[in-house]
């Protein structure tokens, strides 16, 4: 039951007291017992006064309570989630008995808040709780504050107040996650992880994102203007040639990130060859040392050249171990010539 001209509602306890007070008034009038009528009127007047006091407390708390929301990020891809923390501070002199806290969000977001707020917030204290936001659709969505459901200490009335600032969440189409680039991952091949590069360099326009487009080609100004993810489009190149030179000299057997410098060089060659896959470009690979070119792999399609590059990596790795063993070392190190 809503109290007239207020935003407060009476609970079942208050409703029961109202019925009990009215019954005493009617019974007192019928039996001409002034005491019963007086007690009944006292109960009704007391409830009315408590309701007005509670309504006034709601107005004060709505002005005084401070809600601070900390988001881990404001721009996500569809399928990711946003984590954060919500803090409610009470600088007033009134206690706030919180029954529920609900975020005012649009339909494209799911806001999950832990129930740790549902308790008494004393004057000069603060309550904090973690939350998770799950995007359900792509677009730009608004979090326009929070609705707090409060009650009095006797549990007679409840009321809602709106607090907090407005926040925006940008949700882009899912792009997937890319694993970190390390030579160890690249030796086994990783075309299913790394997206294929665009085939050209001449700008041709923009189009809406589709699976397989590169993240680096996103046109953010057009995305913000059209409110959907747009990527740059380039005219394809035909018959281009990619030349890869790999140094296999003695200095390449020094220790590096994973293995030695030769491992890193082969990993970079694998990256370049994979990025050229699917295009009309051809890839040629040459290896050389301090005095001469040791191997020349004629230009071929990237898909075929990757198989030759893996075989070359095994051959060069075997040769480096053999040279190190002949120099008296089990593993090529910087002090083994």
CATH (domain of 77): 2.60.40.10
Name the β-bridge partners of 128: 87
Report residue 187 as tokens: 């030796």
Q: How many domains does the chain have?
A: 3
Decide: 161 and 120 in contact? Cβ < 8 Å.
Answer: no
d(CA 210, CA 218): 11
Q: Which residues of 163-189 are buried (b: 16+ CB within 10 A; e: fewer)?
A: bbeebebbbbebbeeeeeeebebbbee
Same domain? 75 vs 52: no
Same domain? 166 vs 246: no
Same domain? 313 vs 292: yes
Same domain? 164 vs 256: no
What is the span of the domain harbouring residue 152? 65-172
Same domain? 162 vs 70: yes
Is pLDDT above 50 for 75?
Answer: yes
Residue 52 is assigned to a structural domain of this protein: yes
Decide: 240 and 272 in contact? Cβ < 8 Å.
Answer: no
Q: Which residues of 238-250 are buried (b: 16+ CB within 10 A; e: fewer)?
A: eeeebebebebee
pLDDT in tens, 78-122: 778 888 888 889 998 888 888 888 888 888 888 888 766 677 888
d(CA 263, CA 72): 37
Same domain? 263 vs 274: yes
Residue 337 is assigned to a structural domain of this protein: yes
Same domain? 248 vs 320: yes
Residue 319 is assigned to a structural domain of this protein: yes
pLDDT of residue 42: 92
Same domain? 36 vs 98: no
62 pLDDT tier (thresholds 50, 70, 90): confident
Is pLDDT above 50 for 154?
Answer: yes
Same domain? 153 vs 70: yes
Is pLDDT above 70 for 52?
Answer: yes
Residue ending a domain, choose from 16, 40, 62:
62
Same domain? 147 vs 81: yes
Residue ending a domain, choose from 116, 142, 172:
172
* Mean pLDDT value of segment 302-320: 75
Per-chain mean pLDDT for the chain: 77
Residue 149 is assigned to a structural domain of this protein: yes
Mean pLDDT lowest among 28-32, 78-82, 173-177: 173-177
pTM of the model: 0.47
Same domain? 88 vs 99: yes
């Amino acid at each position: 039951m809503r109290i007239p001209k207020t935003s407060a509602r009476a609970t079942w306890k208050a409703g029961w007291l109202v019925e009990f007070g009215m019954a005493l008034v009617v019974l007192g009038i019928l039996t001409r017992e002034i005491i019963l009528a007086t007690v009944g009127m006292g109960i009704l007047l007391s409830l009315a006064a408590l309701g007005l006091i509670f309504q006034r407390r709601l107005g004060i708390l709505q002005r005084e309570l401070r809600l601070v929301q900390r988001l881990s990020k404001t721009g996500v891809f569809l399928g990711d989630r946003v984590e954060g923390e919500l803090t409610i501070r009470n600088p007033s002199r009134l206690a706030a008995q919180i029954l529920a806290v609900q975020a005012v969000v649009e339909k494209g977001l799911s806001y999950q808040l832990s129930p740790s707020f549902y308790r008494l917030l004393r004057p000069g204290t603060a309550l904090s709780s973690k939350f998770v936001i799950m995007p359900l659709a792509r677009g730009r969505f608004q979090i326009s504050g929070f609705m707090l459901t409060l009650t009095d200490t006797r549990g007679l009335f409840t009321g809602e107040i709106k607090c907090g600032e407005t926040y925006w969440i940008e949700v882009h189409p899912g792009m997937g996650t890319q694993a970190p680039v390390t030579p160890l991952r690249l030796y086994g091949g990783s075309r299913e992880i790394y997206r294929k590069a665009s085939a050209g360099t001449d700008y041709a326009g923009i189009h809406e994102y589709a699976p397989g487009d590169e993240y680096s080609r996103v046109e953010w100004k057009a995305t913000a203007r059209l409110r959907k993810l747009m990527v740059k489009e380039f005219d394809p190149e035909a018959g281009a040639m990619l030349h890869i030179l790999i140094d296999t000299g003695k200095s390449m057997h020094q220790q590096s990130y994973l293995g030695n410098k030769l491992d890193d060089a082969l990993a970079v060659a694998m990256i370049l060859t994979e990025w050229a896959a699917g295009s009309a470009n051809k890839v040629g690979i040459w290896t050389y040392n301090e005095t001469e070119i040791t191997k020349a792999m004629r230009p071929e399609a990237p898909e075929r050249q990757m198989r030759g590059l893996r075989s070359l990596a095994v051959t060069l790795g075997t040769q480096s171990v053999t040279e190190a063993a002949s120099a008296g070392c089990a593993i090529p190190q910087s002090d083994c010539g």
